[in-house]
Amino acid sequence: MHVPQRVDINKYLDANYWRLESRQASFATRHGWSNEDVDIVPPQQRTWKAIDYIWLWLADGANVGTMQQAGSIVAMGLSWREASIAMYI
């Protein structure tokens, strides 16, 4: 019969247990809210074209939050055309 080992929960209460090593940042100090994953991409490494930004903009507009906001505007009395214009802005 397998007897589970007792887990020491005190290690989970220590802040050092949860501390992660941060990567080097090029724009912030070591203790800042930045790392190489969120730093600005140098121009020579950028691969997005104009169509990529269009797809990003369209995807952002077609999420659940935007649809709920548009539905709320229609429920308040605006027509679907007026709600579409308001959501575009």
Question: Is 1 a domain residue?
Answer: no
How many domains in the chain? 1
Domain assignment of residue 39, yes or no: yes
C-beta of residue 87 within 8 angstroms of C-beta of residue 61: yes
Q: Does 44 fall in a domain?
A: yes
Has residue 52 been placed in a domain? Answer: yes
Q: Which residue has the tokens 């501390």?
A: 19
Q: What is the pLDDT of residue 48?
A: 92
pTM for the complete prediction?
0.44
What pLDDT does 47 receive? 93
Asked whether residue 29 is assigned to any structural domain, the reply reads yes
Residue partners of 18: CB distance under 8 A and separation at least 6:
12
Strands (E), the chain: none
Average pLDDT, 10 consecutive residues per value, the chain (89 residues): 79 87 66 72 90 91 84 90 84
Q: Check residue 28 and give its pLDDT.
A: 63
| CA angle centred on 23, ends 21 and 24, rounded to 5° | 130
